[in-house]
Amino acid sequence: MAPESIVTRVLAVDPDVPQPEPIRAAAEVLLAGGLVAFPTETVYGLGANARDAAAVGRIFAAKGRPASDPIIVHIASLGQLDEVAEHVPTLARRLAQEFWPGPLTLVLRRPAGIPANVSAGLPTVAVRMPQHQVALALARAAGTPIAAPSANLFARPSPTTAQHVLDDLRGRIDVVLDGGPTPIGLESTVLDLTRDPPALLRPGGVSAEALRALIPDLHLATLYLASAAAGAPEAAASPGMLVRHYSPRAELLLFGGSGAAALARMRATARRFIAAGKAVGILTPDEECDVFGDLPAHIVRLGPQGDMAEIGRRLFAGMRELDAAGVAVILVRGVPREGMGLAIWDRLFRAAEGRVIDADADDPG
């Protein structure tokens, strides 16, 4: 049963120059086996001492996360890498040099000192060094690596503010370090270096293009990354990487196809739902907002069209805002699958349970 009775303390902290006091208090909670949510440059994480199997077990209970879904271990220095992983290949060190601290997670071999439940029993472990002063200060103060998945209830959009964390986990975790909104807003890139060739398991803050510069034969582990028309994702590419993930409660409809046709198809679909008495939400770039201006729909602007960093930053908050508004369905257009666009596409595709409405095909009515 999930613990519902804990008093969750919220500690404000400066994201750039974290005050020692809240960091020390949070580190003590971690070392006592408790759970601390903290900001990273990607999304908020829900941390436990990675060396404490019982504390890690509490993460699964608090999130309602299946035990089959492995957790990322966060470190504060390159020196810690060899404490949390073994047989670390040269390529991992080169990638760490280039992209850490930053939104790149490396899947490596798990040593005996990291409990099996961190990795859902796998012989591997996922590791990253976050680029956020609060996350780094917390790991340094605790003096131990921190196991942390995103700090949301299982299958909900990842939290990009402390309020999102509280909306999902208040009463289930000990502390939230509130360091304001997270700068990237989408989770880290996950790269499996235990396979040959290395495999991109989840696109994120470090682009596939940037990785290709160091890994020319990089493999895209999920078929949908390569093809919008793909059906089911490759089986068990990464444990816990279900298609339905990062999802709002509302049904999400993802529209592909070229500009004008996609917008027309979205309008027609919105009107059908509205006529049927359903509350409709629309996620849209600023420039396309007026297309829906005359419809009685909840419209959330994601930022300037083409500004993938801004759209990525606002995407999960937008999904949560529409859920809070009580919409039954969310309509959104796909984005070009390059750079951060690939990560945005991935989250939309999963939230849409792998279905894409092709606006260039005939409308079945």
Those residues whose C-beta lies under 8 Å from the C-beta of residue 349, and which sit 6 or more positions away, are: 224, 243, 254, 356
Tell me how far, at minimum, the Cβ of 41 lies from ligand TXA, in Å. Answer: 8
Radius of gyration of the chain (CA): 20
Out of 187, 288, 323, 346, the only residue in the binding site for ligand TXA (CB under 6 A) is 187
Tell me how far, at minimum, the Cβ of 149 lies from Mg ion, in Å. Answer: 5
Q: Looking only at residues 238 through 257 of this chain, which bind ligand TXA when binding is defined by CB under 6 A?
A: 238-241
- Kindly report the CA angle at 239 between 235 and 241, in degrees rounded to 5? 75
Out of 59, 173, 177, 201, the only residue in the binding site for ligand TXA (CB under 6 A) is 201
Stretch that binds ligand TXA, among 35-43, 251-259, 279-287, 325-333 (CB under 6 A): 35-43
Stretch that binds Mg ion, among 134-142, 150-158, 307-315, 317-325 (CB under 5 A): 150-158
What token pair was written down for 97?
């040099």
* Residue 37 interacts with ligand TXA (CB under 6 A): yes or no: no
Stretch that binds ligand TXA, among 39-47, 76-84, 92-100, 304-312 (CB under 6 A): 39-47
Query: Which SS3 state, helix, strand or coil, does residue 48 take?
Result: strand
**Closer of 181 and 240 to ligand TXA (Cβ):** 240
Stretch that binds ligand TXA, among 53-61, 233-241, 251-259, 337-345 (CB under 6 A): 233-241
Out of 105, 144, 150, 160, the only residue in the binding site for Mg ion (CB under 5 A) is 150
Burial profile 58-87: b = 16 or more Cβ within 10 angstroms, e = fewer: bbbebbebeeebbbbbbbbeeebbebbbee
Q: Looking only at residues 101 through 160 of this chain, which bind ligand TXA when binding is defined by CB under 6 A?
A: 103, 105, 107, 119, 122, 124-126, 130, 148-150
**Closer of 49 and 188 to ligand TXA (Cβ):** 188
Contact criterion met (CB below 8 Å) for 214 and 230: no
Out of 42, 131, 144, 161, the only residue in the binding site for ligand TXA (CB under 6 A) is 42
Site string for ligand TXA, 44-73 (x = CB under 6 A): -x-----------------------xxxx-
User: How would DSSP label each residue in 239-255?
Assistant: TT--SS-S--SSEEEEE
Residue 280's binding partner, choosing from Mg ion, ligand TXA, none, with beta-carbon cut-off 5 to 8 A by kind?
none
Tell me how far, at minimum, the Cβ of 260 lies from Mg ion, in Å. Answer: 35
User: Token pair 């790991």 is at which residue?
Assistant: 139
CA 285 to CA 292: how far, in whole Å? 12
Question: Cis omega (within 30 of 0) on the bond before 115?
Answer: no
Residue 69's binding partner, choosing from Mg ion, ligand TXA, none, with beta-carbon cut-off 5 to 8 A by kind?
ligand TXA
Task: From residue 45, give the alpha-carbon distance in Å to each of 60, 71, 130, 176.
Answer: 13, 10, 10, 10
**Closer of 150 and 238 to Mg ion (Cβ):** 150
**Closer of 184 and 299 to ligand TXA (Cβ):** 184
Residues in the chain: 365
Contact criterion met (CB below 8 Å) for 316 and 158: yes
Of residues 61, 336, 296, the one with CA closest to residue 174:
61
Tell me how far, at minimum, the Cβ of 306 lies from ligand TXA, in Å. Answer: 24
Residue 126's binding partner, choosing from Mg ion, ligand TXA, none, with beta-carbon cut-off 5 to 8 A by kind?
ligand TXA
CA 164 to CA 342: how far, in whole Å? 24
Contact criterion met (CB below 8 Å) for 297 and 219: no
Query: Which SS3 state, helix, strand or coil, does residue 199 take?
Result: strand
Residue of closest CB approach to Mg ion: 150
User: How would DSSP label each residue in 107-129?
Assistant: EEEPPTTS-GGGGTT-SEEEEE-
Residues that bind ligand TXA (CB under 6 A): 40, 42-43, 45, 69-72, 103, 105, 107, 119, 122, 124-126, 130, 148-150, 187-188, 190, 201-202, 238-241
- Site residues, Mg ion (CB under 5 A): 150
